[in-house]
Amino acid sequence: MKLYYTPGACSLSPHIILRETGLDFSLTKVDLKSKLTENGDDFLKINPKGQVPALMLDNNVILTEGLAVVLYLADQKLDRNLVAPAGSLERYHQIEWLNYIASEIHQNFGVFSPTSAAPESYRSTIRSKLLTKFTYLDSILAKREYIAGDHFTVADAYLFTTCGWTPRINLDLSQLSYLNAYIQKIKQRPHVHDALKTEGII
């Protein structure tokens, strides 16, 4: 399998999950501005949406959308407990978290992208909105070790990835002590550390 990624982008989440599963994979870097891969290939021919993550399966089929990609990967190695088995209520709760992170957290970062023309007043509104949502997540993490329960899942890889974007938009989360302890704990996982190192983030 091959993961098309951009350092520090939302593709970090499936990158972490690939490592956590132990599946064999390679990485190809994408420049999101030029839409070229590090090999000079036109990324729009690989994923016409022009977005990472994109996962190329061994039969050359492309799977996109972070939520679908991490679920697919975790399902390949169910024994790693990165997602609960199909049909279990636990799995639907994990999907509930993935969707919350995608729609309520991730999407709100869009106004801070380099191509966004959003005025500072709007950015400020979104910053406050994000603070409210991260405060809610902090209250969940006050009650349990990981966002969906007592062990690391696909939802943690995604949440951890989005937390990494907050300094870039000047969103101060230092008062959210449970969230901060959680970020440190996830960062110390060997596979997370390796993913961050490979992407040049640490």
Of the pair 133, 185, the CB lying nearest ligand GSH is at 133
CB 143 to ligand GSH: min, Å: 27
Of the pair 5, 152, the CB lying nearest ligand GSH is at 5
Q: Give the DSSP H or E segment for 27.
A: strand 26-31
CB 48 to ligand GSH: min, Å: 11
Of the pair 69, 183, the CB lying nearest ligand GSH is at 69
Dihedral sign (CA 85, 142, 68, 202): negative
Contacts by 105-114 with C-beta closer than 8 Å and gap 24+?
105/130, 105/133, 105/134, 105/159, 105/162, 106/10, 106/66, 106/158, 106/162, 108/133, 109/162, 109/165, 109/169, 112/168, 112/169, 114/33
Of the pair 65, 181, the CB lying nearest ligand GSH is at 65
CB 175 to ligand GSH: min, Å: 26
CB 160 to ligand GSH: min, Å: 14
Distinct helix (H) and strand (E) counts, the chain: 8, 5
For ligand GSH, the binding residues (CB under 6 A) are 9-10, 32, 50-53, 65-67, 102
**Amino acid at the residue 5:** Y
Of the pair 50, 85, the CB lying nearest ligand GSH is at 50
Q: What residue number has its CB nearest to ligand GSH?
A: 51
CA dihedral 193, 197, 199, 200 (to 10 degrees): 140
CB 150 to ligand GSH: min, Å: 26
